[in-house]
Chains A and B, each alone.
Chain A
Amino acid sequence: MNERELSHLLADGLERIRAGQPEDEILREDPQSAEILRDLFQAARLAAVPASAAVLPPQRQSQARAAFLSAASQLRGQKQSVTAWPGWLKTFRSLPAALLVVIALAGSLLGVGFASASALPGDFLYPLKLGIESAESLFTPADRLPGWESLLEQRRYQEVEQLIALGREADVVFYGFLVQTPAGWQVGRIPLTFDASQVPPLENLKDVYVRVAGRTLPTQMVQLKDIRYKLFKIEGRLEFIGDGGWIIGDERIAFDASTLVVGVPKVSEPLRILAIRYQNGQLFALTAEALNGTGAPALTIPPADAESKNQARTRIVETLEATPQTPVIRDPWRGEENPAIRTDTPSVGVKKPKPTPTPEPVCTLEPTPSEEPTVEDPTDPPPGPTP
């Protein structure tokens, strides 16, 4: 085996180890090159050793940040001076005075940045906090975006908890699982209140991860204005197809006859899914689109009880349309054994093509006269994993 072939084998092996496959399993596949690969895997483990200690203390990072922003501030001043000193700055033309101004500006900029980190909805600095977060999102690698978004959602939730603890009123948007308790409806531990005459069928969203818009009240509740599913977009190579479950990457996504499927999902081919997440962590696919370009007809899994499954499909579609009379959707996994996952082709029935629905399921309490979409943009970056 030449160097090129070995380098491919090594790269492939390292990727698989990173993905969690046991080293021995990889080595068994090719006994001829097992010995040299074992040595190289060991060298890779050694190469990762120095990285384990390369963590910078937060205090040192803050100091570096302050120095960097101070230098930037000085350079910005120099850039301006190329043209002319603005009238109000002429007072500071002497170097010591200018330096003082620069230091004060850098200090206040830094101070504002730090202060905004603890801002709450309704605070003057809160928009700055959101701005910094969205800027940070731009520099988050695509594979870490789900984790980053999940972190932001946790922050939104904690902000609402703080507002409630302080008894402050503010408009808020936050995320969590909708649960029904003897005391009433809650998102996480945050109690909700709403106008009974406009109560949507919250049962439809029970135990599902939702996005809530509302206002915190001094009564330590949130006045509900809008509540909708948070949709999870999962796109990737389909690894397994089982009875009622797909596996893509690390995610297992349940489906049933109510899932609207476009094309024919096949193992090893790409699939795009819009799903909701239940409190037990289970993802359930509302729609699935095979991206193999076959243009194949829509497909559903033949249910054991075809009639009831067709009703389930209707219920999902009605929920997507967000009618206040929407009947209850049941978690298809609750109380059921997880079906065994097989790698063979699914036992499926092929039906006529149906369009993939794009609307987001919503239960809107307040009429929205504006053009605010009731659909979460499916082109949004993939949302967080297990919230």
Chain B
Amino acid sequence: MRESEQFLEKIHRLDGQALAALHDAYYPKVYRYARYRLDSDQAAEDAAGETFLRLLHALRKPNARIKDIRSWLFGTAFHLVQDYYREKYRNPKEALEDHHTAEGEAAPEHEVADRASREEVRRAIRTLSPDQQHVLALRFSQDLSLEETAALMGKNVNAVKVLQFRALQALRQKMTTASYDE
């Protein structure tokens, strides 16, 4: 049995050491993905934590076999982000509160400006289609190659190239419109 298979076997047995190594390796990445797409640190932490809890429950199912844990984690994070926005859409009041409780207080002026521009880009990204957001998050928050992104999204490389092109084109348009609006 190959070493990676042995490790997967340990994960399926909920071996403590293997799970700790898995968490150390992937939690920061899943958090980074979620933070890229969500509007607060807390929401991103909740999504990353929930992703790993769901992994435990998936592993616990009888005859559960997860062959590619990385794909599984990012796939689950993607759905959780979608659920988050669906819920937010149903309860728009929460969304308003979130904007007021953004990040920290009394920051230096340049940091405030950076944050403002970051939030502006985030808002523009959130107006894109879920798949477009997903491809941008994988390419630009995880620095994945086209091939890796294609494998995670279950698409071929050409489809990812087109999706990336449309996403960036749409983002460009949104940002241009936003600056005209201001």
Contact = CB atoms under 8 A, between A and B. Distances in A.
Nearest to A109: B16
A6 B20 CA distance: 44
B140 interface: yes
Interface string A1-45: 001101110110011000000000000000000000001101110
Interface in B75-126: 115, 117-118, 121-122, 124-125
Nearest to A12: B161
Nearest to A67: B49
A214 B49 CA distance: 44
Given A68-B53, A75-B56, A79-B60, A43 B169 contact: yes
A65 B17 contact: no
B23 A47 contact: no
A72 to B, nearest CB: 5
B121 to A, nearest CB: 5
A72 B14 contact: yes
Interface in A112-143: 113, 128, 131-132, 134-136, 138-140
A183 interface: no
Contact of A72 (B16, B21, B32, B165): B16
A227 B25 CA distance: 33
Q: Tell me which of B22, B31, B168 has the highest count of chain A C-beta atoms within 10 A of its own C-beta.
A: B168
Given A65-B27, A75-B60, A6 B36 contact: no
Contacts of A11: 146, 161, 164-165
A46 interface: yes
Nearest to B168: A43
Contacts of A14: 164
A47 B140 contact: yes
Interface in B14-50: 14, 16-28, 31-32, 35-36, 44-45, 48-49
Contacts of B140: 44, 47-48, 51
A195 B60 CA distance: 57
Contacts of B167: 47
A222 B19 CA distance: 36
Give the interface size bracket for A toward B.
35 or more
Nearest to A9: B165
Contacts of A186: none
Interface residues of B, number: 55
A50 B27 contact: no
A52 B48 CA distance: 18
A49 B28 contact: no
B165 A47 contact: no
A69 B146 contact: no
B164 to A, nearest CB: 6
> Which of A4, A68, A75 is packed against the most chain B CB atoms within 10 Å?
A68
B17 A71 contact: no
A7 B21 contact: no
B81 to A, nearest CB: 13
A95 interface: no
A176 to B, nearest CB: 27
B49 A43 contact: no
A139 B146 contact: no
A89 interface: no
A64 B168 contact: no
Contact of A40 (B115, B121, B125, B169): B169
Contacts of A71: 53, 56
Contacts of A67: 49
Contacts of B121: 46-47, 49-50
Contacts of A51: 32, 36, 140-141
9 contacts: A3-B162, A10-B168, A11-B165, A46-B171, A51-B36, A55-B32, A61-B28, A64-B49, A138-B3
Interface of A: 3-4, 6-8, 10-11, 14-15, 39-40, 42-44, 46-56, 60-61, 64-65, 67-69, 71-73, 75-76, 78-79, 109-110, 113, 128, 131-132, 134-136, 138-140
By Cβ-Cβ distance, the 8 closest A-B pairs, closest first, are: A7-B165, A139-B25, A135-B21, A54-B35, A43-B172, A43-B168, A51-B141, A7-B161
